[in-house]
């Protein structure tokens, strides 16, 4: 017969942060922890308070209520804390909730807490989960450290070593391993783990993993089938809904994408990126009212989070302008300026995007004045501006007769996206509509050719063994086309090839890493980024590539 | 967004009311549990009538609370938005936690409550659902037993088996029949026990592995001659 009750764990040296808006619950949690000798307990009654505490100290354990009344949820705090690296690698995050919620299943490693506690919280429950999760995080901490350093290969090797003798965490480790393999472009390894899991049980996370591989490798129809297996059975699997919407987008099924997003938002509306995606789909479908609402929700939800970006503000301003709501369009731009006061690109955009609005209201001279004022800054910043903003600004500039600035904007856009036929076409259309068809063709062709010439010259120099010259070339080109994913990856490739020959250099290493991370943000589905990261990690390390 | 806003309002209202009632009952249970602990339980004192009544009130509060939780879960499963999330879970932890929940009632009734489960036994299960079934069954067994209730978990050929046995009079014939009926998916309406069994059956059948599906078994006899409830999970 087994031991009836476990002795309480010794928590006298463990530091705790309790995030809970309800005073009674804070006291209950503190009392229970106190019974196991815990004395280093910090209490936070609100999200803002909690973030301030997390900034000040690295806690061993965070007990956080999922629902904190108005404003940020426990999930928001967790994601911000992870994003801003406010958690120690061994830190345990336990999310407290009054019921099992949809947010609790199939998140990624970045979004999952370590465990959920469903109320009522009893001593037995809390101690059992604490002991388990603290032991698990201690075992996994070295892997976490490697992941934070983006050393996925090392993390994979550590996970493998841990798997040898850690049966209780075997599936946690395998799931982690699959996600690491995805990060380093090892789709084959990830696929075999997901398949192994699916052979045992019908696991949504494994099916979602397979779907992501299909998606990243361009097999959208296969991805759709896997994802519908998950979402058809249960609308609580939110991440699968988001991926299905993305997949339907790629398949050109706008109606389907909107439907899936609205279903997911009915279950969980407090998701700024999902709202943004809904807005974009609804906008393309011409449902301007739905789009307006979704963009506004997205802005409100992201305002005090790291997810805040000019994208939703600009989209809102544009959809208002399309509906002739010029005041509302200006209001959206004012909000952008106010909410992102420390971001110079956002400030420039908040001003420049007034130009099309002023033209629509008939304030021609004001539009002209703005364009003249901003022309220089627009030219310098052109390469960093988001494509949608450039498209929306170029036509009004041509209308005002400022061909120079329009050409600088569209030329940079094409340089950054020379392999994106849809963008080339849209740029051409803008010129054609302005009665400047030939001028447009000349610009589009010249800009696209300039970019591909640089790629070709880089490859040729590299083949001739002139790595140094090739690096100089791509480095210079990068300054002109900082958002060209292929160029970034080519440049990283050259830097890595150079270091493989001449040895690791910290500065070059950092340069290559930055390029790869930027390219990954621009083109998350390109597995070359992961493969290059792995090669980069191997330089100066003697361990071999995983099988 | 919905065609019938009126309907949405009512179901939302019902759901939030059930939540509210559940939370109130949770607080009530906590107060009653405190009252039981504060009224002392030193070696010499016997159970006083006041303590027994408090324990009885606690049992009733927990019973209603469990039923509300089950109703909520069943509603979500029916509307296919229950976040079903089976994972490898240590059964010894689950057993200890369930026993801790049932202990006050067992103490007040002078019933011996114990369990047997290997520390390294893991089951692939949705923790909250299976926990709900086990607590509900323990409460039921405590209600009908004479002197002991025993919870056990063990590996079976096809997964794990969790059993709750007692030395009471056993399940009445109509319930044994109902237990079988539930597994054939036939609905039944007799009283409150119907919900518990139905819930247990739904939970069991949500757990699937390949072509195997979880199930519940009701029997009389067993180790202690009373009722024996088993949950088999693949």
Decide if A78 is inside a domain. yes
Residues A368 and A442 in one domain: yes
Residues A393 and A512 in one domain: no
Per-residue pLDDT 10s for chain A (547 aa) are 334 556 778 999 999 999 999 888 899 899 899 989 999 999 999 999 999 999 999 999 999 999 887 778 898 899 889 888 899 989 999 999 888 877 666 566 667 889 888 887 888 889 989 998 999 898 889 998 998 888 888 899 999 999 988 777 788 889 889 989 988 888 999 999 999 999 888 888 899 999 999 999 999 999 999 999 988 867 778 889 999 999 999 999 999 999 999 999 988 888 899 999 999 999 999 999 999 999 999 999 998 888 899 999 999 999 999 999 999 999 999 999 999 999 999 999 999 999 999 999 999 999 999 999 999 999 999 999 999 999 999 999 999 999 999 999 999 999 999 999 999 999 999 999 999 999 999 999 999 999 999 999 999 999 999 999 999 999 999 998 999 999 999 999 999 999 999 999 999 999 999 999 999 989 888 889 988 998 998 887 655 444 3
pTM listed for this prediction = 0.83
Q: Are residues A414 and A446 in contact, defined by beta-carbon separation less than 8 angstroms?
A: no
DSSP tag of A108:
-
Residues A423 and A364 in one domain: yes
Residues A23 and A93 in one domain: yes
Q: Are residues A528 and A512 in contact, defined by beta-carbon separation less than 8 angstroms?
A: no
Burial status of residue B53 (CB atoms within 10 A of its CB: 0-12, 13-18, 19 or more): exposed
Residues A50 and A66 in one domain: yes
Question: CA of A104, closest CA in chain B: separation in Å?
Answer: 7
Decide if A317 is inside a domain. no
Q: Are residues A137 and A168 in contact, defined by beta-carbon separation less than 8 angstroms?
A: no
The structure tokens 């927990």 sit at B62
Token pair, residue A264, equals 């997911």
Number of domains observed in the structure of chain A: 3
Decide if A71 is inside a domain. yes
Give the CATH number for residue A487.
Answer: 1.25.40
Compute the CA torsion angle B6, B7, B13, B16 (nearest 10 deg): -140
Query: Which site among A28, A104, A124 would you substitute to test the B interface, given the most B Cβ atoms closer than 10 Å to its Cβ?
Result: A124
The structure tokens 């938002």 sit at A265
Q: How far is CA A531 from the centre of its chain?
A: 19
Residues A504 and A393 in one domain: no
Residue of A24, A125, A201 with shortest CB distance to B97:
A125
User: By three-state DSSP, how is residue A7 classified?
Assistant: coil
E-only strand ranges, A13-107: 15-19, 40-44, 61-65, 92-97
Q: What are φ and ψ of residue A221, in 5° steps?
A: -65, -45
Q: What is the residue range of A531's domain?
A: 465-538
- In chain B, what residues touch A128 (CB-CB under 8 Å)? 93, 96-97
Residue of B19, B82, B96 with shortest CB distance to A5:
B96
Given A464, A483, A509, the domain boundary residue is A464
Q: Are residues A481 and A449 in contact, defined by beta-carbon separation less than 8 angstroms?
A: no
The residue in chain B having the minimum alpha-carbon distance to the alpha carbon of residue A259 is B1
Residues A442 and A483 in one domain: no
Q: Are residues A312 and A302 in contact, defined by beta-carbon separation less than 8 angstroms?
A: yes
- pLDDT for the residue B86: 85
Confidence tier at B43 by pLDDT (50, 70, 90)? very low
* Residues contacting residue A397 through CB under 8 Å, at least 6 positions apart: A355, A371, A403, A405, A406, A409
Distance CA A501, CA A507 (A): 16
Residues A493 and A376 in one domain: no
At CB < 8 Å, which residues of chain B contact A?
1, 19, 22-23, 26-27, 29-30, 72-73, 76, 80-88, 90, 92-93, 96-97, 99-101, 114-120, 122, 124, 128, 208-210
Residues A490 and A428 in one domain: no
The residue in chain B having the minimum alpha-carbon distance to the alpha carbon of residue A125 is B97
Closest CA to A353 of A324, A388, A384: A388
E-only strand ranges, A69-179: 92-97, 115-118
Cβ contact, residue pair A120, B100, below 8 Å? no
Question: CA of A300, closest CA in chain B: separation in Å?
Answer: 20
Q: What are φ and ψ of residue B39, in 5° steps?
A: -75, 5
Residues A511 and A416 in one domain: no
> What's the Cα-to-Cα distance from A199 to each of A192, A194, A206, A208, B209, rounded to whole Å?
10, 9, 10, 14, 9
Cβ contact, residue pair B81, A235, below 8 Å? yes
Decide if A529 is inside a domain. yes
């Amino acid at each position: 017969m087994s031991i009836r009750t476990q002795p309480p764990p010794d928590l006298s040296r463990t530091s705790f942060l309790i995030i809970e808006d309800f005073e009674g619950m804070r006291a209950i949690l503190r009392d229970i922890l106190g019974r196991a000798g815990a004395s280093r307990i910090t209490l936070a009654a609100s999200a803002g308070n909690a973030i301030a505490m997390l900034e000040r100290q690295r806690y061993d354990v965070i007990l956080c209520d999922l629902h904190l009344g108005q404003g940020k949820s426990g999930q928001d705090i967790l994601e911000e804390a992870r994003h801003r690296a406010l958690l120690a690698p061994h830190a345990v995050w336990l999310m407290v909730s009054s019921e099992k919620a949809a947010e609790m299943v199939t998140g990624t490693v970045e979004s999952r807490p370590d465990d959920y506690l469903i109320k009522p919280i009893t001593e037995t429950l809390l101690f059992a989960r604490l002991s388990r999760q603290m032991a698990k995080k201690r075992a996994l901490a070295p892997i976490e450290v490697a992941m934070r350093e983006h050393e996925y290969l090392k993390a994979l090797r550590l996970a493998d070593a841990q798997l040898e003798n850690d049966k209780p965490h075997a599936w946690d480790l395998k799931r982690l391993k699959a996600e690491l393999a995805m990060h380093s472009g090892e789709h084959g390894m990830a696929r075999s783990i997901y398949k192994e899991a699916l052979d045992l049980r019908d696991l949504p996370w494994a099916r979602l993993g397979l779907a992501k591989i299909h998606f990243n490798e361009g097999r959208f129809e296969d991805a759709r089938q896997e994802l519908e297996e998950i979402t058809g059975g249960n609308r609580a699997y939110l991440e699968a809904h988001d991926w299905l919407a993305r997949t339907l987008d790629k398949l050109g099924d706008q109606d389907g994408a909107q439907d899936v997003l609205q279903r997911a938002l009915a279950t969980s509306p407090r998701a700024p990126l999902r709202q943004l995606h809904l807005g974009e789909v609804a906008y393309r479908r011409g449902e301007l009212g739905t789009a307006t609402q979704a963009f506004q929700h997205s802005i409100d939800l992201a305002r005090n989070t790291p997810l805040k970006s000019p994208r939703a503000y600009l989209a809102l301003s544009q959809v208002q302008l399309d509906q002739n709501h010029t005041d509302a369009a200006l209001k959206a731009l004012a909000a952008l300026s106010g909410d992102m006061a420390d971001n110079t690109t956002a400030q420039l955009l908040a001003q420049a995007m007034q130009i099309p609005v002023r033209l629509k209201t008939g304030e021609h001279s004001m539009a002209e004045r703005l364009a003249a004022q901003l022309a220089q800054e627009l030219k310098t910043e052109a390469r960093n501006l988001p494509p949608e903003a450039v498209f929306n600004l170029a036509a009004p500039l041509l209308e005002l007769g400022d061909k120079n600035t329009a050409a600088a904007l569209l030329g940079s856009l094409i340089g950054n996206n020379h392999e994106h036929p849809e963008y080339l076409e849209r740029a051409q259309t803008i010129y054609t509509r302005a009665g400047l068809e030939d001028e447009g063709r000349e610009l589009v062709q010249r800009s696209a050719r300039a970019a591909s010439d640089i790629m070709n010259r880089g490859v040729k120099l590299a083949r001739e063994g002139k790595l140094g010259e090739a690096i100089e070339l791509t480095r210079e080109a990068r300054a002109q086309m900082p958002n060209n994913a292929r160029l970034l990856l080519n440049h990283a490739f050259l830097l890595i090839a150079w270091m493989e020959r001449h040895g690791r250099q910290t500065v070059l290493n950092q340069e290559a890493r930055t390029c790869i991370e930027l390219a990954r943000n621009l083109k998350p589905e390109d597995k070359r980024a992961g493969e290059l990261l792995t090669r980069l990690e191997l330089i100066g390390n003697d361990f071999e590539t995983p099988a | 967004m919905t065609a019938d806003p009126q309907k949405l309002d009512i179901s939302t209202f019902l759901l939030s009311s059930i939540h509210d009632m559940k939370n109130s009952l949770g607080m009530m249970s906590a107060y009653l549990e405190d009252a039981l602990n504060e009224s002392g339980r030193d070696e010499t004192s016997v159970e006083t009538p006041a303590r027994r009544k408090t324990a009885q009130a606690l049992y009733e509060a927990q019973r209603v609370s469990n039923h509300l939780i089950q109703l909520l879960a069943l509603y979500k499963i029916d509307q296919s938005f229950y976040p079903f999330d089976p994972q490898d879970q240590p059964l010894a932890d689950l057993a200890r936690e369930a026993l801790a929940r049932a202990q006050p009632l067992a103490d007040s009734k002078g019933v011996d409550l114990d369990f047997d489960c290997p520390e390294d036994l893991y089951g692939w299960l949705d923790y909250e659902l299976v926990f709900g079934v086990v607590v509900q069954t323990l409460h039921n067994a405590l209600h009908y037993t004479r002197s002991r209730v025993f919870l056990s978990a063990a590996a079976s050929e096809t997964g794990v088996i969790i059993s709750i046995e007692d030395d009471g009079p056993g399940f009445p014939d109509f319930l044994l029949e109902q237990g079988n009926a539930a597994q054939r998916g036939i609905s039944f309406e007799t009283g409150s026990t119907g919900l518990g069994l139905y819930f247990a059956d739904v939970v069991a059948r949500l757990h699937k592995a390949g072509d195997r599906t979880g199930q519940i078994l009701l029997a009389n006899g067993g180790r202690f001659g009373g009722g024996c409830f088993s949950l088999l999970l693949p």
